[in-house]
Amino acid sequence: MINFLLIMLFFLNFLSFSSHSYRIKVFNSAILSFLPELKLHNVVTVKKETKIEKIKLLNQSKKRSSELNNFYVFDYTPKQQPDAVGYIKMFLGYELPGIVRVIHIEESTEEKLIEDWHNIAKTNPDYKKHLKKISDSRINNIIEKWDAPFNVYSHNCRHFSSYFATELEKINNL
């Protein structure tokens, strides 16, 4: 009986270390391509890692490489990029249909992240395909809970990145 309990405790302990957590970082990017210095758009990078990988990272030296491998970029934006009249309406406070975009990036650096993200978003806008690669229903639930209407003042990419990072931290703390 005692052997069985020890085996069960060991197994449950192993499961807790092999479960996934997420490393989260928020980056700023340009809103307008002709004004790249105006970095007001937020994107959230998410890297899935096991708790064992996380412990290894903590044990490594404090110097971190700027290299990023196998991660996801989430952002919230109007579904259709507005034309000149659409920008005027948007800045007057009108709501536009919004979308959470998900891009999977195999390899990049912090310096090239935004450029790589823009290039993939232009050429492969199948966001649901990228979201399926994560295969975590909890992330799908977080995205589904987010209301869709985009409002530049009260429901924008910065609000989304704050909400998304907070919800992922809740998953990490489970």
Average pLDDT over residues 15-41: 74
Tell me the pLDDT band of 33, cut-offs 50, 70 and 90: low
Tell me the pLDDT band of 93, cut-offs 50, 70 and 90: very high
Amino acid 6: pLDDT: 46
**Are the CB atoms for 16 and 51 separated by under 8 Å?**
yes
Tell me the pLDDT band of 153, cut-offs 50, 70 and 90: very high
Amino acid 19: pLDDT: 56
Long-range interactions of 27-36: CB distance < 8 A, separation 24+: 27/110, 27/113, 27/114, 29/114, 29/117, 29/118, 30/114
Residue-wise pLDDT for 60-90, tens only, equals: 544 455 666 788 999 998 988 778 888 899 8
Tell me the pLDDT band of 108, cut-offs 50, 70 and 90: confident
pTM: 0.76
Bridge partner residues of 62 (DSSP): none
Higher pLDDT, 159 or 65: 159
Amino acid 66: pLDDT: 60
What is Dmax (Cα atoms) for the chain? 74
**What percentage of the chain reaches a pLDDT higher than 90?**
24
